Amino acid sequence: MLRTVSCSASLSSSSPFFRFFRHFPRSSTAALRGPSRNLGRISSPSAAGRRVFLRRGLRVSSAATEGGGGVNGQFSRFSVRAVATPSYPDVGQDEAEKLGFEKVSEEFISECKSKATLFKHKKTGCEVMSVSNEDENKVFGIVLRTPPKDSTGIPHILEHSVLCGSRKYPVKEPFVELLKGSLHTFLNAFTYPDRTCYPVASTNTKDFYNLVDVYLDAVFFPKCVEDVHTFQQEGWHYELNDPSEDISYKGVVFNEMKGVYSQPDNILGRIAQQAISPDNTYGVDSGGDPKDIPKLTFEEFQEFHRKYYHPSNARIWFYGDDDPVQRLRVLSEYLDMFEASSSRDTSKIETQKLFSEPIRIVEKYPAGRDGDLKKKNMVCVNWLLSEKPLDLQTQLALGFLDHLMLGTPASPLRKILLESGLGEALVSSGMSDELLQPQFSVGMKGVSQDNVQKVEELIMDTLKKLAEEGFDSDAVEASTNTIEFSLRENNTGSFPRGLSLMLQSIAKWIYDMDPFEPLKYTEPLKALKARIVEEGSKAVFSPLIEQFILNNSHRVTIEMQPDPEKASQEEAEEKSILEKVKAGMTEEDLAELARATEELRLKQETPDPPEALRCVPSLNLSDIPKEPTYVPSEVGDINGVKVLRHDLFTNDIVYAEVVFDMGSLKHELLPLVPLFCQSLMEMGTKDLSFVQLNQLIGRKTGGISVYPLTSSVRGKAEPCSKFVVRGKSMAGRAEDLFNLMNCLLQEVQFTDQQRFKQFVSQSIARMENRLRGSGHGIAAARMDAMLNVAGWMSEQMGGLSYLEFLHTLAKKVDEDWEGISSALEEIRRSLLARNGCVVNMTADGKSLTNIEKSVEKFLNLLPETPSGGLVTWDGRLPLRNEAIVIPTQVNYVGKAGNIYSTGYELDGSAYVISKHISNTWLWDRVRVSGGAYGGFCDFDSHSGVFSFLSYRDPNLLKTLDIYDGTGDFLRGLDVDQETLTKAIIGTIGDVDSYQLPDAKGYSSLMRHLLGVTDEERQRKREEILTTSLKDFKEFAEAIDVVREKGVAVAVASAEDIDSANQARSNFFEVKKAL
C-alpha cells in the first residue's frame, strides 16, 4: 500500500469557486456507502466517511500557498482565454415541448466551456439544468429540498433507505449491485442541513444511463416507504437476541451519528449551526442526534418521503458529452407519471432574523481522562453575515477576504492566533455560504480555561486591526494569483468536474435563485480586481470586515469544555432508557421482539436470488477495453538524474515532482520527518521571513508541497521510502517554481523555536482528531507496522507511535531546542542529493522542452550524495492483538495478516475477490446486519497484507468473528456467471479510475518507483477479466492466514474493550491514547 503523510503546504486542487472540504454540521453517506474507488486501503479522513461541507466561496485549502500567472504591478496578467463557442447538439423548443418541457433560458458558460440550458417540466414544474460540453465524465444529480423539523435524522435515514430497492429494481440494495458491477466515477448521496443530493457519474454512456435510471427509480419509487425492515436497518430498531438479554439500539444511521457525536470538532460544529440559526430548519440536526433518532416513527418517515420526494420539489442536473435530447427523454418517462404538488412551497427555507445582541453558549464534550484537561477547552466565535442573499461580487470579495485572513500559514488572523500560544490549533474557521445565509467562524482548540476569554478578545482585536490597517500588498497579490490559478486549472482531483459545478449551482438554485450565476465568475472577478486597483485593497476589504463582522450583533460565542464523565453518562442514560423499555414489556412482548430481531437478521443475511438481481442493469465484458489506459511516458536523464516526461494537455500548466531517496536517514530521525516538512514550508530563510516566502510561492506558483512516501515493493525486502517535493505553475513560471523549490529545500533555516513548538501542538491536535474520527486508519497503520517494514515507517510518521513521539517532543522543545534544530539539519543532509533522485514532469511537449534548463539548474545546485551511508530498514512493532482506548460511543475494528507468507502468488483475480468480499459478505454482515457504518477489506498487493476494517461499529468481537468466517464464506460460495461478470466489471472500474492529467503523470511516477511495468499491468488485467469461481475457492486457503496468524487492532471505548477481554481472557493488550 502506498502511504503518504501530509504535513505541509498542500497542493489541494479546487474547481472554480474553490470547492473545499470543511467540517460542517451536516450528514451524508459520502464515502462509506461503499468501498473506496481506489484499490488501496482507505486511509484519509475524507475517504473514510468524514462529514464534510462542500463549500462555495473563494477559499482554498487552509494550508495552501497557491497562485500563478505573470505579475504586472499588483496583479497577474491572467485572463480567461477567448473561447469560440463550440457546437453542441441543441434541443429545439418543439422537441422539448413534445417531451413535456419548456426551455426557460440558455447560455454559453465560457468559464467551463459549456452550453447550459434550463428546462422546466410543464406538468410538475420540475427544473432541469442540461449542461453540454466535451467532458466524457458525465454527471447526473437529483436534488430535493428536505428541511427537517426535529433532530430525529429523518432526511439522513431516508437518504440511506431509498437506495435499498425500488419499483423497477426490487432487490435488497440496487446501490450495492451498482457498486459491484459499474464503471462509475462517482456513486453516492449527500444529506445537507436543508437538502438531499443523489449524484452519479461515469465516462461510459451505457453505464451512465443505467445509473441514472436506478437513481430516478430509487428517489421517486422506493420500496422503503412500504418496508419497515429497511427503516429499522438504516435508521433504528430495538435489538433483542434472547429475552434474558439486554435490549440495545441498532441501525446504520444511529451508529454513524454516534460516531459523529463522539468527535469534539463535529459536536462544536453542530452546536454552532443550531445556535446561529435557532429559528429555522438549521436549528435542528438533519443528520440526527442519537438521543432523538429513536423517537422517529415509520409513519413520520413515510410522510416525509410523500411530502418532499416529488418532482415539483426537485432540481435535476445533467452534465457532459451525452445527447441532451436523450436526457429529457429519460426524464419525461418518470416526471410524466406525477401531477404538480405544493411541495416546492412547503419546503421553502425560512430566513433567520439577525440577533439584536451577541449570545454565549457553554457546552461539554466527551474527553479522556489522560492529559491536562484544563488545557483542552475549545472556543469559537460565529457570525451570521446577512439576512438577504448576497450578490456575486460581494460573495467573491468575502471569499478573497477569507483567504487573506485564514487561507495560508502566513495569513494574519491565522498566524496571530497560532503564534499567540493560547491554543493548539484552529477549529471550525472560515467563511461559508453554501446554505441560505452566509456565515463566518473562527476558533481555537487546545485552550486552557484561563485563556478562553483571551482567545475571544484576540480574535476581535485582530479583526479590528485588519479593518483599520488593511492587508499587505504582497498578500493581496498572492491571494489573487492563488485564486486565479485555481480557476484556470479547474482541478477537482478525483471529484468529477460536473459534480463540482452542480454543487456550486445548486447553492443558489435550491433557494429559487439563478442557477447560472454561480458558474460565471469572470466578470465579477474582473470587476473586483478593478476596484482593488482603483480604490486600494483597504477600501474594498475593510468595509466588509466592519459591516459583516465587527458591527454585526448576530454573533454566537461557543465554549466547549472537556468532560471525562460525559461519554459514560450518555451510555448510562441510554442503558436506563432501554431498561425501562424492557421493564414495560410482557414476556410475550419480549418473545415477539426476539422473534422480530431474528426475522430482520435473516432477511438482511439472505441474498437476493440470481434471477432477481438480473433486473439491475449492468454492462457486459464486451463493453470493457481489453488493454489498460497508457500514459505517454518518456524516460531520460539530466546530468545523470532520471527524468520522466509525460506529454499531456494541461492548459499551459506544468506539474512537477522531485523525488529523493530516504535510504540514508537514521531510524531515530524518522518521526521528525513530518515536522521537517512543515518546517521547510513554514520557516523563513536568511533573507525572507516565512510570511514573505509563503507569499512569494502564492504569487509565482500554483503551490508547493513536501511529504514522505513509503510502500512495500513486491518481491523485495527493502521498502520504497522517498521524500517528495511536488509543485505546479504556469509554464512561463517554471523557472520560478524550481527556484522556489530550491529555496525551500536548501535555504530555509531551522531556527524558530516558537514556531516549531506550534507545529508540535498542531500535530498533536490533528492526530487526536484523527484518532476519534478515523480510528480505522489508525488501526490499519498499527497492523501494517506489525506486518511489514514500510508499514512500520509510515506508522512512525503518522500513527499512534507518532502521537506518542509528539507528546515526548513537546517537552523536549524547551529542554533541547539546539538538538532538535541539529536533527532537522541532519535530515536535510540525509535526503538532498542528486544520487537516487528522480524528476517527474507532466505538461505539453513544448513546455516540457522549455523547462529543461530550469530543471538542470535546480539539479546542479543539489549535493552529489547524501551525508551518511545507506541504512537498513528492518523495524516492526511486535505481533500482538491491541486495543487502543479513546472516549467514543462506537468502535473501529481491524484484523490483518500477510497472505504471501502462505506461498500465495499474486494473481489479478485477488482484486476481484477482495472487492466481492467487501460488497457482499462484509457489507451484509458488518454493516447491514451488524449496524456498523462501514465494513470493508483491502489487499495490498505490494506487501501481501490482507486487512479487514470496520468503521463506526457498535460491535467488537462479533465483527472479528465475521472476519474469521471469510474463508468459509468463499469456500461455500456459488456464484453464477452474471454475478462473476459484475464483480469483474466493477474491479476494472477501480483499475481504470478517471484521472485528470496531473494525476495521470503522478500515477505513472508511482508505478515507476514501485517497479510496476506496463506488461505486468496487462497481465493483471487479463487475470482480472478471466477470474473464475475456482479462483475464489483457492483464495480461501490464502486468506485463512488472517484468521489463524493475523493480528487484531481495535480503537474503541474502555467499556467495550473490558467486555471483550472478559469474554476472551486478555485477548487484547490495552493502550490508552486519549
Catalytic residues: 159, 234
3-state secondary structure of 854: helix
Q: Give CA–CA dist 453/29, Å, rounded.
A: 37
Instruction: Report residue 600: phi and psi, to 5°.
Output: -65, -45
CB atoms within 10 A of CB 504: 25
Q: Which three cell numbers stand for residue 210?
A: 443505467
How are beta strands 314-320 and 127-132 bridged, if at all? parallel
204 vs 138: CA distance, rounded Å: 8
Cβ(206)–Cβ(217) under 8 Å? no
How many CB atoms are located within 10 Å of the residue 779 CB? 31
With beta carbons less than 8 A apart as the criterion, state whether 318 and 348 touch: no
How far apart, in Å, do the first and last CA atoms of the chain sit? Answer: 28
Rounded Cα–Cα distance for residues 926 and 112 (Å): 42
CB 1053 within 8 A of CB 891: yes
Residue 140: CB atoms within 10 A of its CB come to 29
What amino acid is encoded at 405 in this protein? M
Identify whether the C-beta of residue 52 lies closer than 8 Å to the C-beta of residue 30.
yes
CA neighbours closer than 13 Å in the CB half-sphere of residue 946: 30
Q: How far is CA 772 from CA 573, 631, 765, 768, 798, in A?
A: 22, 39, 11, 7, 14
Among 1042, 1012, 787, 1016, smallest CA distance to 917 is for: 1042
H helices then E strands: how many in the chain? 38, 34
Beta bridge pairs of residue 839 = 643, 658
For residue 1013, how many other CB atoms are within 10 A of its CB? 10
In this structure, are residues 190 and 150 in contact, taking their beta carbons and an 8 Å threshold?
Answer: no
Determine how many CB atoms are found less than 10 A away from the CB of residue 814: 9
907 in the Ramachandran plot: left (φ > 0), alpha (ψ -120 to 50) or beta? beta
Q: Do residues 118 and 127 touch, judged by C-beta distance below 8 A?
A: yes
φ/ψ of 109, rounded to 5, equals: -100, 100
Q: How far apart are CA 1057 and CA 505, in angstroms?
A: 47
What cell numbers appear for 702 in the block?
Answer: 500554483
Contact (CB, 8 A) for 991 and 911: yes
Residues 15/492, Cβ–Cβ less than 8 Å = yes
Residues 911-922 as b or e (16 or more Cβ within 10 Å = b): bbbbbbbbbbbb
What radius of gyration, in Å, describes the C-alpha atoms of the chain?
A: 28
26/5 Cα distance (integer angstroms): 27
- List beta partners, residue 842: 646, 655
Residue type, 460: M
3-state helix, strand, coil in the chain (%, to 5): 45, 20, 35
Measured at the CA of 287, the angle between CA 509 and CA 33, to 5 degrees, comes to 90
